[in-house]
Amino acid sequence: MKLLDVLMAAQGGGAVTQLGQQFGLGNDQTSAALSALVPALAAGLARNATREGGLEGLTAALAGGQHAGYLDDAASLARPGTVADGNGILGHILGSKDASRQVAAQAAAASGVGSDVLKRMLPVVAAMVMGAMAKKAAGSGAASSSLSGGLGANLGAGGGLLEMLTPMLDRDRDGSVVDDVAGMLGKFLGGR
């Protein structure tokens, strides 16, 4: 199942409703915002997982955090700690506040939702994305397993976690996300 689909289905759509209410958006606007934000976050996750130590860092974050709770309890999205956690996640995924602002601006153009709203929403969406990844890892029994036999294998080709990201990232449908991730990040991060 694609990452965006997991977020949209969380709590029978309750997470999307909660997110929309939290930011004063209807369900259609919230769906458009998620559709515009999630690919940038997915690209950042994929990029980080392929860097030296990135896979281990993602593994540790998924195994050690309580991220799945963001999808299990929609009310958790409104808690102040969620924004703080989400900002930490964004720091790892995108690298800087400037990059987050650029993602929000690009998503605003694509979704029609104001960039100020998207800037405030982005940390919560990042927390939701990690929640989806954590649930996928836990669903495979990998969250508590070692890197070599559990989550690490689940991140690999056909494993599951990156499989959630691939449909969003392989824009040219050539079977490789490498060229697509580089292009997306170049667009969102101004060629960094």
Give the residue from 112, 130, 26 showing the smallest Cα distance to 70: 130
CA angle 28, 162, 7 (to 5 degrees): 25
What was the pLDDT predicted at 61? 73
Q: Dig out the tokens for 18 from the structure.
A: 């909660």
| Number of domains present in the structure of the chain | 1
**Are the beta carbons of 48 and 161 closer than 8 angstroms?**
no
Average pLDDT for 83-110: 90
Percentage of the chain surpassing pLDDT 70?
69
Bigger pLDDT: 90 or 176? 90
For residues 41-59, give the mean pLDDT: 77
Instruction: Say yes or no to pLDDT of 177 above 80.
Output: no
Query: 147: domain range?
Result: 3-189
Which position has the higher pLDDT, 156 or 39? Answer: 39
Distance CA 93, CA 62 (A): 14
Arithmetic mean of pLDDT, 138-147: 46
Q: How many other β-carbons are positioned within 10 Å of the β-carbon of residue 18?
A: 20
Q: What is the pLDDT of residue 150?
A: 38
pLDDT at 186: 57
Nearest of 115, 131, 104 to residue 18 by alpha carbon? 131
